[in-house]
């Protein structure tokens, strides 16, 4: 009875706040397998100075190293630790006791993305195979609400997302890997040519082209919910190429800065859009050589992070108070930012209240 009362109070509080919401659009971006250690600590000197993992140590050090943690992380992620820290919130610095974890037991990609978008850490989702996900996700829930139909879109580097987000069932526009960009504008034709002509060292289109395609879609079709899923950080980490992992992370920070600048230059998006940035899983952190890997048998793989900036989110910067959040909370938070209430098919998950206050 007490839990029911508290839950009812929470919903009433969120409903009251929803009447005053300024957020009309939500953009979600994921950096696959990006470790919290680099997000909050910058480049890791023990890996950077190991020739087994870093071929261009001097170049990497010159670009990103600084003995001061704050300077070091700002060199790697200038948007995160400049503009976003000043005007948004960053969660997950475990060195400060600010904990963010996955709830699913597997700690790899498909289960992580399922948890992000369905709010349900389904133990039946236990592989990265291209199997259609039966769970209802928050993107299709939003797409079914009045005023949002046809206004939700997904751009991903990994081609499993049409299965993870069940495009077959919901018909949301999803463009993954080298899906053709069959739109008429000259800009789309150019991006389409680029994605087929560009080298693919990771056997998928570069994250940069996923970004260009999503940005052009934003400009031409004005979605109210847009999801960008990047993949390079995970792929380069698995390959043991720390310098490429770091360079990709830095490039994605620059893409986020460009994305935010684009949103703020567009009527209907300026001061009306919330940006959420997170990851699907962590990586090994206790043993240096395990930074390449993740999964239930690699300690640290369940440790993740989240960053948020938008008109309804207080500018609190880095969240340093000891607390515990879970990945399953992202789906109801995305909906709540738009004044909607999303509940998973099974289990329960509450929105992150500090993002909404």
| Residue 19: per-residue pLDDT | 55
Tell me the average pLDDT across 306-325.
Answer: 98
pLDDT tens digits for range 150-183: 999 999 999 999 999 999 999 999 999 999 999 9
Q: Could you write out the DSSP letters of every residue in 45-105?
A: HHHHT-TTT-S-HHHHHHHH--SSHHHHHHHH-HHIIIIIHHHSEEE--GGGTEEEE--SS
Q: Which CATH class is domain 2-356?
A: alpha beta
pLDDT averaged over every residue in the chain: 95
* Residue ranges of domains in the chain: 2-356
Tell me the average pLDDT across 110-132.
Answer: 98
pLDDT tens digits for range 74-112: 999 999 999 999 999 999 999 999 999 999 999 999 999
Stated pTM of the model: 0.94
34 or 286: which leads in pLDDT: 34
């Amino acid at each position: 009875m007490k839990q029911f009362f508290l839950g009812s109070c929470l919903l009433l509080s969120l409903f009251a706040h929803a009447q005053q919401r300024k957020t009309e659009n939500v953009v979600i971006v994921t950096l696959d397998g990006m470790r919290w250690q680099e997000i909050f600590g910058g480049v890791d000197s023990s890996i950077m100075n190991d020739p087994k993992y870093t071929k261009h140590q001097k170049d990497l050090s010159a670009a990103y190293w600084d003995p001061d943690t704050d300077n070091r992380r700002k060199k790697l992620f200038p948007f995160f630790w400049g503009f976003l820290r000043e005007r948004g919130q960053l969660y997950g610095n475990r060195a400060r006791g600010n904990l963010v974890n996955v709830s699913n037991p597997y700690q790899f990609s498909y289960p992580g993305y399922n948890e992000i978008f369905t709010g349900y850490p389904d133990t039946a989702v236990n592989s990265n195979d291209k199997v259609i996900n039966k769970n209802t996700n928050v993107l299709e829930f939003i797409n079914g609400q009045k005023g949002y139909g046809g206004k939700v879109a997904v751009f991903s580097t990994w081609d499993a997302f049409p299965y993870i987000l069940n495009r077959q069932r919901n018909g949301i526009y999803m463009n993954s890997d080298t899906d053709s960009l069959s739109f008429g504008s000259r800009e789309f034709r150019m991006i389409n040519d680029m994605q087929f002509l560009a080298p693919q060292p990771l056997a998928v289109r570069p994250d940069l082209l996923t970004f260009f395609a999503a940005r052009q879609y934003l400009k031409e079709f004005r979605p109210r919910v847009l999801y960008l899923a990047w993949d390079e950080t995970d792929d380069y980490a698995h390959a043991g190429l720390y310098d490429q992992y770091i360079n990709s992370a830095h490039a994605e920070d620059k893409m986020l800065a460009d994305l935010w600048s684009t949103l703020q230059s567009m009527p209907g998006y300026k001061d009306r859009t919330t940006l959420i940035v997170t990851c699907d899983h962590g990586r090994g952190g206790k043993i240096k050589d395990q930074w390449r890997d993740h999964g239930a048998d690699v300690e640290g793989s369940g440790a993740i992070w989240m960053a948020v900036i938008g008109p309804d989110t207080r500018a609190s910067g880095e969240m340093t108070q000891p607390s515990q959040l879970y990945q399953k909370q992202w789906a109801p938070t995305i909906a709540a930012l738009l004044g909607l209430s999303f509940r998973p098919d099974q289990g329960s998950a509450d929105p992150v209240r500090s993002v909404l206050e």
